[in-house]
Structures are given as structure tokens and as C-alpha cells.
Structure 1
Amino acid sequence: MRSIRPEPVIPDADIWTSLFHDLSDDDRALPALVDGTTGDVMTYGELVGRAEAFAGALAAMGIRPGDVVGLHCPNVPAFAVAFHGILRAGATATTLNALYTPHEIEVQLRASGAVAHVTVSPLAPQSIAAAHAVGIADDRIVVLDGLDGHPSLAALLSAGHAAPDVTIDPATHVAVMPYSSGTTGKPKGVMLSHRNLVANVAQCEPIIRVERGERVLAVLPFFHIYGMTVLLNLALRVRATLVTMPRFDLAEFLRVIQDHRVTFAFIAPPIAVALAKHPLVDEYDLSALRTVFSGAAPLDEQLGHRVADRLDLEMLQGYGMTELSPVSHAFIRGEGATTPLGSVGTVVGGTEDRIVDIESGDAIEPPEHDGLSASGELWVRGPQVMLGYLDDPEATAHTLRDDGFLRTGDLASYDADGNVHIVDRLKELIKHKGYQVAPAELEALLLTHPDVADAAVIGVRTDDGDEDPKAFVVSAPGADQDAEALMAWVAERVAPYKKVRHVAYVEAIPKSASGKILRKDLKAAE
């Protein structure tokens, strides 16, 4: 289905030029980033000046257009300086998860061909060890907040090198290379061009509607494509103020919203669970918060309404993936009440989607009236679709079709208005007695139980080679742990083949920094 939303105007420019070419004197005085922990403010003028000086310092190190630079840093204002400095120099940023081990960092730096690396002192032990392992010398390992033997941000800025003159083709030059497992297999370098990033900002701007001067909470990591595009680039494009948090802690999250009068928060579903259920929420003044946008994983409809009702705000949802830069579907801010919260909305402007039967390959159409269509794999085509996977033509060919459609690997359905409802990842579906069971559906149901604070579901192999749904449950404070009663409660609410057949109580559900349940960790523990 072709989007019914207006076709976006996509500038033929690199992301730096697209974001900052029209920066006015008034813009320069606006706060661009506020450190939510310390309260330190960086204006737009300071951000642009520092990023250009950082680009000049990289060029003085010998970094040239097309070189890959690693960036291993939590959400602090200096991340934006380094990230946009790398892009301004014409280099490619490969962003790394702040929780990575030395081995994981080494694997990504080696695979991406990084020739320099940027980090911060709290992450330096693992980061520097990994950089050394791939042959990056100390004078090319920047520790932003300073560490003996390595260039610091302050030292690089004080050197006063002018930003280089670079000429690139926005359509083909790789701006960023985050790593993603894609629809299947081990993490792969996702090559996103400047045009991919510019296009997705242009597509999101009229839909997500972040406003000039608005205070936007940046707790979702900038190293992840969700935080990179929807937070960092979109907010900077419209001259909003990003209030950064280096990690999620519920009390600190609530304090930052309260003290900084945050009006717009981008979250993942695990944070929505806390906002809906945790008693600590009532101890803070969150009255400035007008909009919460959930992404990175499916948000259950009932959970979304509980957050909206408890905090008296507009709850929105969107869908995307790293390979889509990332947004392909989203609610329109201000019109959230007209879109079913169990969906991710309709396709963004300039984009087509298609839901395809996984057996026949036939396209599935929206139903004429109420209800949902049959489910199938969601495909997307548009200017935000990646160039491909680095050095992996086989995986690229599997994911990117010759006609330009990207196979998302997600199972989805349409409603009559063309809103897409995500069922689950195809690779995570549980096959029980020949039936498909979506873990996300059971997780959403479990979260409605008053004794459940959090939950995850996986398939576990039985002796006869079948799969049973197994739930891992975090108990609500003071709740009884009665696995049999919980399984009986679920059984009353689902078809027989969907019943949870095993329950394990755990301290916490393992999740990625972007909020996705790490089912592989749960399976590995079996």
C-alpha cells in the first residue's frame, strides 16, 4: 500500500547540511542538549562549533572521507559532538552498544574496518583493549572526558583545526553503520547512506511533530538507530532541546522529567510497564509531560492506555528497524486518539508497505470492515531502506528484493484503515502442535495480571520435538509466586494451543539497551 500521507521533500544533501545549513543567530542561542544529570547546557551554536572542530581534528589525524570511526559512548551531550563531527569529516560512524564487552567491541571494530575510535573514561577499559586488538593506536583512540595517553575532546577542540572541505554523494556515501541481527543470523553492518538519514528525518518531522524549543527526554540510546534518528537528528532538525540520560533508572528518569519539565518522551515498552504499574511514579510531578512515543518493540494496547490514563497524556507508537533508518510506520502526534493503540499506525510519507502470505507469497489486503486481515510478513519500500549489509551479499539478497522491497522478518496484519498491527518476529514464533504462537501476545496478556511486574515468553523443546510456551515472570512487589495459578489464569483467556505450560520466576527480564527482550539469553539459560 502506498502511503496516503504527503510526499516528503528530501533535500539532496548530507545529513550535516540538512540539519544545520539554515541555523540562524536565534537558533544558535537555543539550548540543543542538556545533561539531565548535571544540568550543563550546550547551545546549538556550541554544538555546531564543537562538531566542526572535532571534524577538523579527525582530518588532522589523517581520517578521510569513507574511513570508519567507532563511537562507544552513552547518552551525554558530547556524543552529539563526536557523532556529527565524524559525519562532518565525511567519515562513517559505527556506533557500539555501551554495554558491550571487549570481545563484542573488537568484533564490530574489526568487521567494520574502523581506523579510529571514540569513547569515554567509564567505558575505556573495555573500549581501549578492543581498539588495541584491532591495531588502532592510542593517538587515534579519543577519550572524550580525558584519559592520560589519549586525545580528549577538550584538547582536540583547543587545537583549532578547521573542518575539512569534503564532497560526497549523499545517495551512496555511508554515513552510519550500526550493527543489527536483521531478519536472521549474527549481527551485520547495516550501511545507511546520508540520503537514508535525511529522508527519514523528513518523513518523521510532519508526523511525530516535535516542536521548536520543546524539551525532549533522551534516555533511549543514541547508538541505537531509534535514538540516533528519532531523537538526535529529528530533535536537532526542529531546534528542540534534548535532555540526556546516560542510562535508565526509574527514579532518575522521573526526576529528570519533573525537574527539567520534559514535554515529550521517547521510550521502549519496558519503560511503559514501569509508568503503568510502579508506585514510585506517583511521587513525582510529571504534569509537563504531554506525549509519550513508544518504539523498538511492540506495545500492548491495554498497557498503552494504562500509561495514557495514569499520566493524562497522548500515547503514540511507531515501527521501524535498523535497516529502515529506522521509521516506516508511526502515529501522527495530535491524532493519536483516532489510531488504535494496538497498531503502529500507517506507513510514513513516500513509502509503500506490503503484507505477504508466508506460504503462498500473495499480497494480503486490508479487510473491508472491522477486524484484522490474515497475517503475513511485512515488506517496506522507500528512500529510508538501507544500501545493504557490509560484506554480506547473501544476507543482503535475502533481505532486499530486486524490486526494492525490504523483508522485515516481522509478522503483521492490516486493519480496515490500513493501520499495521505487529504480531511478532517470524523467527521468534513458537510452533506448538502445528500452531503458531506469538510470544508478544502472551507477554502482553501476562502484564495485565496484578501479580506480574514483567514477563517474557520463549518456546522450549519437548521430548517429542515439539515446542511449549514457557513464561519467565518477574513478580510484582509483595505478590505470591504461584506458577500453577498463573498458568490457569492464562489458560482461561487464550486458545488451548496458546497456553503457557511452564513458568519460571526470575529477578529481571534480560533486555537490550533499546528495550527488546533478549530471548536468546533466556534460551541459553535453559
Structure 2
Amino acid sequence: MSFTSPFPDVDIPNVSLYDFLFGGLTDADRARTALIDGGSGASVTYGELDAQVLGVAGALAARGLGVGDVVGLHSPNVPAFASVFHGILRSGATATTINALYTAEDIAKQLADSHAKALFTVSPLLPQAKAAAAQAGIPDELVVVLDGAEGHPSLRDLLVEGNSAPDVSFDPATHVAVLPYSSGTTGRPKGVMLSHRNLVANVCQIVPRMGITADDRLLCVLPFFHIYGMTVLLDAALYQRASLVTMPKFDLPEFLGNVAEKKCTYVFIAPPVAVALAKHPLVDQYDMSSVHTVFSGAAPLDHELGMAVAKRLGCNVRQGYGMSEMSPVSHAIPFDDDETRLDSCGPTVANMECKLVDPGTGEEVEYLAEGSTEVSAPGELWCKGPNVMLGYLGNEQATADTLDSDGYLHTGDIATVDGKGVVTIVDRLKELIKYKGYQVPPAELEALLLTHPQIADAAVIGVQDEDGEEVPKAFVVKQAGAEELTADDVIAFVAERVSPHKKVRRVEFIDIVPKSAAGKILRKDLRTAESASQS
């Protein structure tokens, strides 16, 4: 037995991502603004974007790159990212998008693992990109610096060559379009093979739920190199002919200034940004009235935190769930749903089915009667659908461990579901704390800690006490001016609000909670630091 989406299936055309996004451009579409650089205000129309995409594809083909080749894209959010990303795919090659925060060693590992033959980057990131390319055997003439650098071709150089885009032929269902690398929070980063059909499918699945329209102006601070930004912002927005305002990194004054000055209507964030929007005094100095929706993903958003953002900005707040391995969205609270609690991730998107499986017994949990507002027992979430990856590049064992013979992706996340099909993620299977046999979800305690007015941010992991028992430890960032907050205060605050087995037993104050570029708490970094301090 399984549970499916409450929404009817959507049609998924069997075409390349380029044809899906750009094949139907009208003259009116071509005149519309596609991308706006948040810093300079420079803009690109859909017609100009399409021409640049075709130009990049032609330049790659002229260099002998196409179907069967991998090209690295190492850049923060700038308008040229869209041109290069879609140009790589239009050429028939595969794009492997690389974290802009990576060191030269990290970049080199991804280039080598993906067998990349060329690399696009930007001048501020050139030192590490150049060193990595040298390690991977990529010559300088195939290291393209978008904004130009001596000894390397620029994007402009490629475009002025005037090469026509090649005729290419491949099966959209099996041809790998992109190779994002999984975050590595539970192991070595792995190349996630996503086909053109995977990406097309997920845009078709989420567009009816997101409510993005051509009149929207989206603030894009979530990185395009991450699957969340790639599909939910870049591709879905382009498909709907909306305008995207790019930001290369998160800076709160710039974030707020872009919303106010450029009248952004739809803002996609990760929970750390929600904390700032709910609590930072600077927010009151900017006009945020243009925003009608804030959508959070990449990590769990607490209901109270989401409601605080909604109240302060006077907008709707929604949440979704996904993984790189699902292109990425499998669940989302619809834009027109005002009833579903924000600490859930909403119902399953169309064309998907799911299971909850008890990780201890391997048995599927019992689901509740339709319409029930109670929730099921927790279980590992398994998902199947047209957006699920082909597998991990060159790693058959990891693929077999994650994708079963029935096509279900084992997410590694523990979830519950109610009678309306609304799914709530409890925590990651491998990050649950076991205190005297009881399961303690770190995310639950982190959400609670964030409700404390003197706490700016928090993370929780399991540590060993003197008796060898695993206990919850909180790493806490104080709000400015909250110097008087003590560890005992934090422990008492949590103890008053949770069951005895969920109490925080230890507290450490830190300056910043380590997080990935997509906003996920890097608990593995905290565990590494904790182990080092105990040795």
C-alpha cells in the first residue's frame, strides 16, 4: 500500500529542458525581462537570454563538446548563470554545478569524479577554479571566466564567435542533463544523475502548487548551483515567464534593499533567512509590502517562526520538501492553502506516490482514515515518481542502497502523514538522538529554541554523557544584547516545554551555526568539533 498526491496527474512532455522552457517563446515573451542583476540593475530579456543560450551551445559544439561530455559551472547567482547553464544543456552536454564556496580541492574532486572537460567560473572565484582545473587536466582555454580574466576566454568572447547551436538528438528520459552533487551531510558527496525528463517533470509538478505567474518578480538568493535554486527558482520561473532578481550571496541589507527597490513579489528562502526576517530590527527600515509570498525549503521551518514572518511582512508563508535526488520537490504546501500548518511540508505533488516504512521492522506504517487530522506513526519516507533520479554517477552500491527494485527512493528522512495526505518531516533517520531508547528529533528542539527571544540561532546534536548515554546538546547563538543568557536558562526554557526525554542536557554558546549554502545545518561539523574537543 502507498499514498499518492491528492492532486490529479499532470502531463509531462517528452522533450529536452531547453525545448520545454524556450521552445514556446512568443514575441511578447521575448520582450519580457527575464533576469535582473541585483547589484547593478542590469537586465536581460527572454529574447536576449535565448540568444545567449544558443550562442553558448554553439561555442561548446565548436570546441568539440556535446552529448556524452560534462561541463562544470562554478558561479554564484548572476544573470549569466542562466545563459551558461541552459547553453550547456542545449549543446547536449551535461552540466555539473559546483558550490561557489568550495575550495580548490573540493572543486577538483567534483571535476575529476564527473569527468568534466571544461569549466565556467567568475573572476572572484578564479584562483580556486584555476587550481582545480589544472588538477583535473582542464586547459586554460577551456576555463571560461564569465566576466573576463587574462589568459582565459570570457562569455562575451564565446558569444561574439557567432557559432550556431548544434543539432543534437538524445532520449530526454535517459540522457543526463545535470550532475549536482549531494550535500554530503551523511557521507561522501555523490553525483546525482538527473535526466531532462526529471527536470521537466518537476517543473510540471510544482508550477500548479507554487502559483508563480508572469507578473511575479522573484528574489533569487538561494544558489542556482543547488537543485532548489536550479529547479524551483530558475527553471520554474523561466517557464512561467516571471522575472528573476539575482543575488550572489546573502547579505541582509542587500536582501531587504533588493526587495524594496525592485518590488520583489515572491521570495524563496531557507529557514536561516526566516530567522532574520522574523527577528532582525533592520527589517523594519525597508518597505517589504510588495512581497505576497515567502516560500521556505532546504531545511525544516517551524510553524511559529513561519507565522512570525507572515505577520511581520503581511504575506503568505509556505514550505516544501525535497532532495537533489528528486529534482528536488516531492511535497509542498500550495500557494492557495491557508489551512495547512507551516511545520508540515504539505501534500505530495502530482504524479508521485509515497510510503512510510518503520526503520526498525521494515514494515509499512498504518495510515489513517481519509480526512483524519490525526497523524500516523513515524516512518522513513519513500518516494516514487518521474522526478526521481536515474542513480548516482559511478556508484552502483549507493544507488542500490537508495533506489529499490520497485523504484522507490529511500529518503533517509523520518515523516508522518495525516488523513488529508499532509506530510511532516520529523528528522533525518541518521540524526535522531536516542536517549534511553527514546527518539529525540534535533529539528524539533532547534525550532523550540528559536522561539526564545534571546536566541538568534541554534543547532542540536547528540553527545555522550559521563555514563555513555547519548543526550541532546544545544549549540546556541545569542541575540545581540543577550549577554546575560546562561546555559541554565536555556536548559530550563526547553525543560518547561518538552517531554522529559527531550530535555536539552548540555549547552554551548557559539558565534555561528555552520550551514550549507542551501541553509541546512551541518550537524556533522558540530559533531566533528565536539569529538575533537573531547579527545
TM range (shorter): over 0.9
**2:371 maps to 1:367:** no
Partners of 1:466 and 1:189 in 2: how far apart?
A: 36
1:173-192 pair list within 5 angstroms: 173-181=175-183, 184-192=186-194
What are the residue-to-residue correspondences of 1:458-473 with 2, within 5 Å?
458-473=461-476
Does 1:430 pair with 2:433? yes
Q: How does 1:298-377 map to 2 (within 5 A)?
A: 298-335=300-337, 337-368=338-369, 369-377=372-380
Task: Tell me if the contact between 1:208 and 1:332 (Cα under 8 Å) persists in the aligned partners.
Answer: yes
Letter in 1 for 2:459: A
| Native 8 Å contact 2:122 2:145 kept in 1 | yes
Are the equivalent residues in 2 in contact too, given 1:119–1:127 (CA < 8 A)? yes
Partner of 2:41: 39
1:97 aligns with 2:99: yes
Which amino acid in the other structure matches residue 100 of structure 2?
A
Aligned to 1:513: 517
Give, in angstroms, the shift of residue 488 of structure 1. Answer: 1.1
Given that 1:183 and 1:408 are in contact with CA atoms closer than 8 Å, whether structure 2 keeps it comes out as no
Where do 1:76-95 residues align within 5 Å?
Answer: 76-95=78-97
Q: Matches of 2:496 and 2:489 in 1, distance apart? A: 11
Supply the AA of the counterpart residue of 1:488: A
Instruction: Find 2:273's aligned residue among 271, 274, 283.
Output: 271
Equivalent positions of 1:408-423 (< 5 A) are 408-423=411-426
1: distance between equivalents of 2:138 and 2:114?
A: 13
TM-score, structure 2 as length reference: 0.97
| SS, match of residue 525 in structure 1 | helix
Aligned residue in 2 for 1:10: 12
Equivalent residue, structure 1, for 2:501 = 497
Identity %: 61
**Equivalent position amino acid for 1:406 in 2:** L
Instruction: Give the drift of 1:464.
Output: 3.5
SS of the counterpart of 2:191? strand
Please tell me the residue identity of whatever aligns with 1:363.
E
- Displacement of 1:185 after TM fit? 2.0
Counterpart CA distance in 1 for 2:302 and 2:271 is 8
CA–CA distance in 1 between the matches of 2:206 and 2:453? 36
Displacement of 1:181: 4.6
> Equivalents in 2 of 1:43, 1:433: separation in Å?
59
Distance in structure 2 (CA, Å) of the matches to 1:183 and 1:276: 27
Cα distance in 2 for residues equivalent to 1:125 and 1:296 = 29
- Whether contact under 8 Å (2:472, 2:506) holds in the other structure is yes
SS in 2 for 1:494: coil
Equivalent residue for 1:68? 70
CA contact (8 A) 1:225 1:326 kept: yes
For the structure 1 residues 184 and 402, does the alpha-carbon distance in structure 2 shift closer, same or farther, using more than 3 Å as the test? farther
Residues 6 and 350 in structure 1, CA contact (< 8 A), matched pair in contact too = yes
Asked if 1:27 is matched to 2:61, the reply is: no
Shift of 1:182: 6.7
- Structure 2: gaps of 5 or more residues: 531-535
Structure 1 partner of 2:255: 253
Q: CA deviation at 1:370?
A: 3.4
**1:210 to 2:212 alignment:** yes
Is residue 489 of structure 2 the alignment partner of residue 485 of structure 1?
Answer: yes
Does structure 2 retain, via aligned residues, the 8 Å contact 1:366–1:417? no
| Count of matched residue positions in the alignment of Structure 1 and Structure 2 | 525
Deviation track 1:459-491 (CA, whole Å, cap 9, x = no partner) reads 112343321111111101111231111101111
Whether the 8 Å contact between 2:427 and 2:443 is mirrored in structure 1 is yes
Across the aligned residues of Structure 1 and Structure 2, the Cα RMSD in angstroms comes to: 1.0
Kindly provide the CA deviation profile for residues 61-97 of structure 1, in whole angstroms up to 9, marking residues without a partner as x. 1112120001100000010011001000000000010
- Distance in structure 2 (CA, Å) of the matches to 1:342 and 1:72: 33
Match of 1:156 in 2: 158
Scaled by the length of structure 1, the TM-score of the pair is 0.98
Q: In the superposition, relative to structure 1, how do residues 83 and 131 fare at CA in structure 2: closer, same or farther (>3 Å)?
A: same
Structure 1 residue 362 displacement after superposition: 2.0
Aligned equivalent of 1:235:
237
The SS at the match of 1:274 is helix
Alignment of 1:375-386 (within 5 A): 375-386=378-389
Deviation at 1:524, TM superposition (A): 1.5
Deviation at 1:367? 3.0
1:290 equivalent in structure 2: 292
CA contact 2:185–2:524 (8 Å) conserved in 1: no
Q: Is the 2:296–2:319 contact (alpha carbons within 8 Å) kept by the matching residues of 1?
A: yes
Structure 2 letter corresponding to 1:451: Q
Contact 2:180 2:193 in 1 (8 A): yes
Letter in 2 for 1:125: P
1:199 has 2:213 as partner: no
1:391 aligns with 2:394: yes
Gaps (5+ residues) in structure 1?
Answer: none
SS of 2:118's partner is strand
CA contact (8 A) 1:366 1:373 kept: yes
